[in-house]
Amino acid sequence: MDTSLSRQNSREGILALRSELKLSVVLPLEDAARVQCIRVSGATAVLQLDKLQPLFDKTLRCLETLDIRMDVLEAQHGVVLTEFLNIDEKRLPALRSLSLKGVYIPWNSEFLRDLRDLYIT
């Protein structure tokens, strides 16, 4: 499992964990506005995204990069990003790079309009 969050004025932090380890990271929601990059990947990506749902209810004014990579088995469940995280373009005004693997996204999603980079595999 790999999870990465980075904020303005700080170095990117990456957590690389073996699956038998458990970790709980608390990010105060008042700091959410400064997060620039969210990367979620690994065999438990759906569980990680589920824990991030409250974060996407906030306006993430600095979030520029969203990178979600599902495990092959998880991808078979047909996760639709906009439904799972309730993503709204108004809450992600700076999003410019979206990278998805094994995640579905409706082509009429409003937040696709302002993207600079879109990677879908």
Least confident of 12-21, 24-33, 37-46, 105-114: 12-21
pLDDT at residue 109 is higher than 80: yes
Give the pLDDT score at 8.
Answer: 52
Give the pLDDT score at 94.
Answer: 94
Are the CB atoms for 46 and 72 separated by under 8 Å? no
pLDDT at residue 16 is higher than 70: no
pLDDT at residue 27 is higher than 90: no
Are the CB atoms for 89 and 69 separated by under 8 Å? no
Closest CA to 1 of 51, 39, 57: 39
pLDDT at residue 81 is higher than 60: yes
Q: Dig out the tokens for 92 from the structure.
A: 């992600």
Closest CA to 119 of 45, 48, 69: 69
Give the pLDDT score at 63.
Answer: 93
Q: Mapping DSSP to helix (H, G, I), strand (E, B) and coil, where does residue 7 land?
A: strand
Q: Mapping DSSP to helix (H, G, I), strand (E, B) and coil, where does residue 111 land?
A: helix
The C-alpha atoms of residue 96 and residue 23 are separated, in whole angstroms, by 29
pLDDT at residue 24 is higher than 70: no
**What global pTM score does this model have?**
0.73
